[in-house]
């Protein structure tokens, strides 16, 4: 019902259209993978001819990078809002782990794996990935420093601790495409445990806090609901070029 085969052409402002394109691409990146960001695929999604996408992004690679940035940025803002709100660092960190652990985070893990691999062949994407790695690191490090400043956390080197946490998260996410679950609880909790250990928190602090937050939740900025595109179809169509 969304689009009749022959729709009257709709003219939008460049800014709107561009945003629409990037959003659609980000949604596809998240659900189907960065390789599926294709002139034809995005055009179909928006009920628009492929050439139009080409018009806004003369080089598809730039759209891919942009889409990754949008998706990763949105997730980061969900997990670690730049605006600290009125919560304690411990609460914020607990919330972070609650959201960054479990199957709900799998799409994001997949996206990161996807992007880190594709970076091998796409310089523009590689830059964007590097940029967002720095963003995530910075945001988490700020949180750690806040916690240290107000006495909730204890660590000699917030920077190192931050990276340690991120390394474990990356390591846990590496299998998002291969092993679904069936991992011991201890492993699933590994990121939290690392944080608690390195921040001088009593074991269980972050998890208990997280459970409490779960109960009280409802004010969260909204979980993962990027855009339309309801179709998490797993088997797309065709090609993956190494160089465009």
Options 88, 91, 190, 200; binder of its own copies; rule CB under 8 A: 190
36 is a site residue for its own copies (CB under 8 A): yes
Which does residue 11 bind out of DNA, its own copies, none, counting CB within 5 to 8 angstroms by kind? DNA
Contacts of 144 (CB under 8 A, 6+ apart): 89, 93, 153, 155, 158, 161, 162, 199
184 is a site residue for its own copies (CB under 8 A): yes
126 is a site residue for its own copies (CB under 8 A): yes
Options 24, 27, 30, 48; binder of DNA; rule CB under 7 A: 48
Which does residue 12 bind out of DNA, its own copies, none, counting CB within 5 to 8 angstroms by kind? DNA
- Specify the long-range contacts of residues 228-232, CB closer than 8 Å, at least 24 apart: 228/24, 228/27, 229/24, 229/27, 229/28, 229/31, 229/45, 231/31, 232/31
Options 19, 59, 187, 220; binder of DNA; rule CB under 7 A: 59
3-state SS, 211-226, equals: HHHHHHCCCCCCCCCC
Of residues 93-112, those binding its own copies (CB under 8 A): 110, 112
- For the bound state, the minimum distance from the C-beta of residue 238 to DNA, rounded and expressed in Å, comes to 3
Burial class of residue 142 in the structure, from the number of CB atoms within 10 Å of its CB (0-12 exposed, 13-18 middle, 19+ buried): middle
CA distance 31 to 111: 9
- Total of residues contacting its own copies (CB under 8 A): 49
CA distance 166 to 194: 10
Token output for 75: 């997730």
Options 1, 11, 181, 216; binder of DNA; rule CB under 7 A: 11
- For the bound state, the minimum distance from the C-beta of residue 119 to DNA, rounded and expressed in Å, comes to 17
DSSP string, 19-46: HHHHHHHHHHHHHT-GGG--HHHHHHHH
By C-beta, is 188 or 229 nearer to DNA? 229
- For the bound state, the minimum distance from the C-beta of residue 43 to DNA, rounded and expressed in Å, comes to 7
154 is a site residue for its own copies (CB under 8 A): no
**Under the rule (CB under 8 A), what is the footprint of its own copies?**
33, 35-36, 110, 112-114, 116-121, 126, 129-130, 133, 157, 159-160, 163-164, 166-172, 174-179, 183-184, 186-187, 190, 235-243
């Amino acid at each position: 019902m969304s689009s009749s085969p022959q729709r009257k052409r709709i003219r939008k402002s460049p800014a709107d259209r561009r945003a629409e394109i990037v959003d659609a691409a980000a949604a596809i990146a998240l659900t189907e993978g960065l390789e599926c960001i294709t002139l034809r695929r995005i055009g179909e999604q928006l009920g628009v001819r492929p050439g139009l996408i080409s018009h806004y992004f003369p080089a598809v690679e730039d759209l891919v990078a942009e889409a990754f940035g949008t998706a990763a940025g949105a997730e980061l803002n969900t997990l670690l809002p730049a605006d600290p709100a009125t919560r304690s660092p411990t609460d914020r960190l607990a919330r972070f782990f609650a959201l960054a652990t479990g199957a709900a985070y799998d799409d994001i893990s997949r996206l990161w794996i996807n992007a880190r691999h594709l970076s091998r062949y796409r310089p523009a994407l590689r830059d964007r990935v590097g940029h967002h790695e720095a963003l995530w690191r910075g945001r988490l490090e700020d949180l750690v420093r806040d916690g240290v400043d107000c006495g909730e956390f204890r660590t000699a080197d917030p920077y190192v601790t931050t990276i340690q946490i991120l390394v474990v998260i990356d390591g846990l996410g590496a299998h998002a495409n291969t092993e679904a679950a069936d991992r011991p609880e201890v492993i699933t909790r590994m990121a939290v445990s690392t944080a608690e250990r390195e921040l001088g928190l009593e074991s269980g602090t972050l998890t208990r806090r997280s459970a409490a937050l779960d109960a009280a939740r409802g004010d969260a900025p909204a979980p993962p609901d990027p855009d339309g595109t309801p179709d998490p179809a797993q088997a797309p169509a065709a090609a993956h070029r190494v160089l465009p």
